[in-house]
């Protein structure tokens, strides 16, 4: 079962938290132990607002803890991150960090900072990186050598843009509320429920573009809302292997304009400010997709660059990918090549009088396993990709789905290729976020 995290507030939670804190300290090498006496005298007072203590539980058992201290300069500091040995490898530290970041956001903190040891605590360093932390100047004094200081900016602006320009992607945990996720999931389930496969059954695959993409059902879906089956949805006799609701690969591609629930979610000043902050002066949303990555049969999305499908001159397509469920290596999370947006566009998917085809533009190979980085995230995380960033997701062979919602936007100042498969016209123009 996944970890659940609560902020310690009553005496019972603080008692549990205190026990975890002592266990954490005992687990440290002797020279790194803290003097916990001042905190233990009155934990509730010591971690009173705006500081906070969090406890994670797995199957009802206390599994770990973390605390957030608040600095006068508007920074939230991460301290005492601990996962009990029996619960390691189960996403406890990530869940604790996400809860802490959400609280820091609620408090209006401008950043979350921490110190770690990059060389010795490799897994922790990777976790922080995957949550969007980057190395920074020391935020204060620490009492050990070789400290690595990291920060996660919550105030957007130049810092988000410089990270985006450096890495080609951004990970923003806690961007979507639990209520918004529930609304999107419920609406997607209704769309699938109403879908009658006997009318038009399309399969979505990214493996053999030449045949599947010429499929009328796909090519005419850019201005409507359609369901596509997973490639492995049907057995040899043509029967579904799993119930319909566990067989749909995705819904696309214009629900951001045509479906009231998705329309509401997909527009607003927050998205507009974010995308403009990344350099799209006149953002226009061309495509939306609800991706299910179904349990056991969720199909691979092969290595690609989104500019292959949304060619503009200059290249501007930018993708917002919202995790609606926890995503990790087991259920087919995204993989990216950090900095790969500086590599050339390898392919272009074109539709013209000659039909649809994938043109090879450049022979640069796709990233090797060593160059690929897994983007393991909690539900509610936003991942933003540059249009030239190579990314893929593996098949999902696990028993857990991996739902996500995506929006693809381009800059209206750039020239949108008339050979792109998805065209809008004056009767149904692409709109911005506001």
Ligand X SMILES: O=C(O)CCC(=O)C(=O)O
Closer to ligand X by Cβ: residue 151 or 306: 306
∠248-267-188 over CA atoms, to 5°?
20
Smallest distance from ligand X to CB 330, Å:
14
In the shown chain, the binding pattern of residues 341 to 380 toward ligand X, with x for contact by CB under 6 A and - for none, equals ----------------------------------------
- Site for ligand X, residues 278 to 297, rule: CB under 6 A: 291, 293
Token duo for residue 392: 């893929």
Closer to ligand X by Cβ: residue 18 or 222: 222
- As a whole number of Å, the end-to-end CA separation of the chain is 39
Closer to ligand X by Cβ: residue 82 or 309: 309
**Who contacts 379 (Cβ-Cβ below 8 Å, separation ≥6)?**
176, 178, 181, 323, 324, 325, 326
Residue showing the smallest CB distance to ligand X in the complex: 393
Work out which of 77, 112, 404, 409 binds ligand X, going by CB under 6 A: 404
DSSP 417: P
Token duo for residue 280: 């799209």
Longest pairwise C-alpha distance within the chain: 77
Closer to ligand X by Cβ: residue 248 or 404: 404
Smallest distance from ligand X to CB 360, Å:
19
CB 203 within 8 A of CB 230: yes
Closer to ligand X by Cβ: residue 231 or 306: 306
- Site for ligand X, residues 373 to 392, rule: CB under 6 A: 391
How far is it, in rounded angstroms, from Cα 179 to Cα 188? 14
Smallest distance from ligand X to CB 334, Å:
6
Count of positions on this chain that bind ligand X (CB under 6 A): 11
Smallest distance from ligand X to CB 408, Å:
7
How far is it, in rounded angstroms, from Cα 101 to Cα 108? 11
Closer to ligand X by Cβ: residue 309 or 416: 309
Closer to ligand X by Cβ: residue 3 or 248: 248
- Site for ligand X, residues 234 to 273, rule: CB under 6 A: none
How far is it, in rounded angstroms, from Cα 348 to Cα 419? 10
DSSP 377: B
218-240 burial: b if 16+ Cβ within 10 Å, else e: beebbeebbbbbbbbbbeeeeeb
Closest CA to 340 of 378, 370, 311, 310: 370
Closer to ligand X by Cβ: residue 76 or 301: 301
Smallest distance from ligand X to CB 319, Å:
5
Smallest distance from ligand X to CB 404, Å:
5
CB 321 within 8 A of CB 402: no
DSSP 430: -
Residue 198 exposed, middle or buried by CB count within 10 Å (0-12, 13-18, 19+):
exposed
How far is it, in rounded angstroms, from Cα 248 to Cα 190? 13
Residue-by-residue DSSP string for 202-221 = EEE-SS-HHHHTT-HHHHT-
Closer to ligand X by Cβ: residue 8 or 334: 334
Residue 301 found at the interface with ligand X (CB under 6 A) = yes
The DSSP bridge partners found for residue 7 are 54
Work out which of 247, 312, 315, 393 binds ligand X, going by CB under 6 A: 393
Closer to ligand X by Cβ: residue 43 or 323: 323
Smallest distance from ligand X to CB 195, Å:
20
- Site for ligand X, residues 158 to 197, rule: CB under 6 A: none
Work out which of 406, 409, 422, 433 binds ligand X, going by CB under 6 A: 406
**Who contacts 377 (Cβ-Cβ below 8 Å, separation ≥6)?**
130, 171, 173, 323, 326, 327, 333, 383
Smallest distance from ligand X to CB 327, Å:
8
Smallest distance from ligand X to CB 342, Å:
18
Smallest distance from ligand X to CB 344, Å:
18
How far is it, in rounded angstroms, from Cα 90 to Cα 278? 34
Residue bearing tokens 């640069």: 364
In the shown chain, the binding pattern of residues 305 to 334 toward ligand X, with x for contact by CB under 6 A and - for none, equals -x------------x-x------------x
Smallest distance from ligand X to CB 384, Å:
11
Closer to ligand X by Cβ: residue 65 or 301: 301
Where does this chain bind ligand X (CB under 6 A)? Answer: 291, 293, 301, 306, 319, 321, 334, 391, 393, 404, 406
């Amino acid at each position: 079962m996944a970890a659940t995290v609560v902020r310690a507030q009553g005496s019972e939670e603080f008692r549990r938290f205190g026990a975890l804190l002592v266990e954490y300290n005992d687990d440290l090498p002797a020279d790194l132990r803290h003097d916990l006496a001042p905190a233990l005298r009155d934990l509730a007072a010591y971690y009173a607002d705006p500081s906070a203590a969090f406890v994670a539980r797995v199957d009802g058992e206390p599994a770990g803890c973390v605390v957030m201290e608040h600095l006068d300069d508007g920074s939230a500091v991460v301290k005492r991150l601990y996962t009990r040995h029996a619960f390691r490898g189960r996403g406890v530290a990530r869940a604790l960090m996400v809860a802490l970041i959400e609280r820091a956001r609620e408090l209006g903190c401008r950043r979350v900072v921490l110190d770690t040891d990059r060389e010795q605590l490799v897994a922790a360093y990777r976790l922080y990186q995957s949550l969007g932390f980057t190395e920074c100047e020391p935020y204060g004094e620490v009492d050990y050598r070789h400290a690595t200081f990291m920060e996660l900016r919550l105030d957007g602006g130049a810092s988000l843009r410089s990270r985006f320009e450096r890495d080609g992607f951004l990970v923003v945990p806690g961007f979507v509320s639990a209520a918004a996720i529930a609304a999107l999931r419920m609406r997607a389930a209704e769309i699938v429920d109403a879908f009658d496969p006997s009318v038009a059954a399309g399969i979505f695959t990214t493996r053999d573009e030449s045949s599947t993409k010429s499929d009328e059902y796909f090519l005419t879906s850019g201005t409507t809302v359609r369901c596509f089956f997973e490639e492995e949805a049907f057995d040899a006799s043509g029967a579904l292997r799993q119930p319909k609701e566990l067989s749909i690969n995705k819904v696309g591609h214009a629900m951001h304009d045509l479906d009231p629930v998705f329309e509401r979610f997909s527009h607003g000043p927050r998205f507009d400010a974010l995308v403009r902050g990344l350099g799209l002066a006149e953002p226009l949303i061309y495509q939306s997709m609800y991706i299910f990555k179904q349990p056991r049969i969720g199909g691979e999305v092969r290595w690609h660059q989104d500019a292959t499908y949304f060619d503009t001159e200059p290249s501007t397509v930018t993708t917002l990918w919202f995790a609606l469920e926890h995503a990790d290596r087991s259920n087919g999370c995204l993989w990216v090549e950090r900095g790969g947006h500086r590599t050339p566009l390898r392919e272009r998917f074109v539709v013209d009088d000659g039909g649809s085809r994938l043109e090879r533009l450049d022979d640069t190979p796709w990233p090797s396993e060593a160059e690929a980085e897994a983007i393991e995230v909690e539900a509610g995380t936003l991942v933003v990709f540059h249009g030239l960033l190579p990314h893929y997701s593996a098949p999902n062979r696990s028993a857990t789905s991996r739902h996500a919602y995506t929006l693809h936007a381009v800059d209206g100042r750039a020239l949108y290729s008339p050979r792109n498969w998805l065209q809008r016209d004056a009767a149904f123009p692409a709109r911005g976020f506001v």
